[in-house]
Structure 1
């Protein structure tokens, strides 16, 4: 029936997830997945597993976490784990839950809510995927994402690179023939597409190059954590082991987990928690012991999500102002850390340089000169980071700059592709 979808188009993101739909005749608007969100079509990619049972997503996950007195597990940025072979899963209610099960739990809730919205059951899905997942092996990560979709009870699963989907959405509104660069900046990856656009249907041959790097908003948050906030939680602690003479510092592996919104929960592991308790006892100063106490509260009370929310708020402020403050208070934790735009730019220089190198490499791979590109269109909050925005303008001086409206560009492009998939299936 023309008024019911046959395929779902899913933009599963590190920070936010959206779902639209299609059938062979039409494309459906993004579905309201989260009634508690200011924009119900945007579901935050958050999972809550209360100790009492059940699983909750999006705004409801945050509410349930608070209502259950912060008991249970609150997880964010789960997309990061798909490409990591070393991440076998996390313990929830005494059971090891795999990355596929975590992502599948979110995708299943999205499917059920969309089914209820349309009054039908849809088991075919087109999922967006980054050009390069965060991790060692893209094929391995895509395989995990496919398994997660199967956990969500999808039976036919297709993939499309997210920047190509964004390009489809942008190309649909093109008024003249020209070269375009699309930048898709998410929470976990920054992706680029160089393509020919015009007042016609976008064809596969119009896409000249696609590139991506597993560095984006979360990595920029981590740079602030590493440079200025981590010390409040023992990242710079000095200690001396019993019968040892050397003054030691917190191991870098621990600091890396501390500075990652996706991997902070690893510090809950029994062996790591035992080591951190030893470091607290062996610390050389009362100040360091106090900072280790803050780390203990942060880990045991699973306050990492809220801490990184505070860091992200300050980062967003720095896009419009030259100074801000990271403020996070909780019983046993007090952080008030002034931050400046110049300090943030220095802290994130390595990450931003990697994003810009990827942009340059994608343009080169397209076989065009930077001056040939007529329009640049970016989506995602990281595109507003002043240094990134300024460097894109400097590199592509001849191009006019446009901004996608909201977070819907990728899912709208996925829905257009899903319609083509549905047409092909109908023709078979």
Structure 2
């Protein structure tokens, strides 16, 4: 987007927009990946259960729902509850299923993901952090290092970098033509994300605001203007 004194008073800035692109990657994606790669085993991902005369693995879709905190509450439907009770009776390891039941019935999904988010935030300044959760019999203690976190979430980082590269191509611009690059949102504090930006544009071009409220503020401005 073109910026400067000659543009600031224009009521219609559409001609100043040189390109638009995006990728669906945000804080929730990083949190969900930590859950999937590091914590899901606490809730039965590795168990097997007996159905008639066959041993079957834990259904993948159930574990995937656990990795989105907003989906966990929907696991309290009657069909899922009955199935989880069946798991408790027939699995080769009841302890993870007991944790799963506690997580669902005690509505602890949001609380657990707050703990995950805190650990993620800590890794923006620390090289390792302790992810500790202890509620209703669910006891989790996991040490996560920044290199481990970056390995877990490398797919997300790559998507962000590829999106930036594609936007430069479609806009017909080179990275050295960009004067300022404004970042917002808590994800912009993740060191691996910052590295992508610095490697592409240089540290001197990166600009920040209040990362945790600027997205909401921007939406409010957009709604007002429409």
TM-score by length of 1: 0.49
Query: Matched residue pairs, number?
Result: 222
The answer to which structure has the higher helix fraction is: 2
Distance 2:89 2:221 in 1: 59
Give 1:297's aligned residue.
102
Contact 1:376 1:399 in 2 (8 A): no
Aligned partners of 2:196, 2:216: CA distance in 1, in Å?
27
Equivalent residue for 1:314? 119
Q: What is the match of residue 82 of structure 2? A: 274
Asked if residue 265 in structure 1 is aligned to residue 73 in structure 2, the reply is yes
Q: Which runs of 4+ in 1 moved over 6 A?
A: none
Q: 1:294 to 1:419 in 2, by over 3 A?
A: closer
Q: Deviations over 1:344-393 (max 9, x none)?
A: 11111222222222222222222211221111111111001111110111
1:93-242 equivalences in 2 (<5 Å): 195-199=1-5, 200-201=7-8, 203-242=13-52
Distance across 2 between alignment mates of 1:306 and 1:344: 20
Contact 1:373 1:399 in 2 (8 A): no
TM-score, normalised via structure 2 length: 0.89
Give runs of aligned pairs for residues 358-373 of structure 1, distance below 5 A: 358-373=163-178
**Can you list the C-alpha shifts for 1:81-139, whole angstroms capped at 9, x where unaligned?**
xxxxxxxxxxxxxxxxxxxxxxxxxxxxxxxxxxxxxxxxxxxxxxxxxxxxxxxxxxx
Q: Determine the structure 2 residue equivalent to 1:407.
A: 212
2:181 is matched with 376
RMSD: 2.0
Gaps of 5+ in 2: none
Consecutive unaligned residues of structure 1, counting only runs of 5 or more, are 1-194, 422-428
3-state DSSP of counterpart to 1:339? strand
2 CA distance for matches of 1:415 and 1:374?
26
| 8 Å contact from structure 1 (residues 242, 282) kept in 2 | no
CA distance in 2, matches of 1:298, 1:392: 38
Give the aligned partner of residue 256 of structure 1: 64
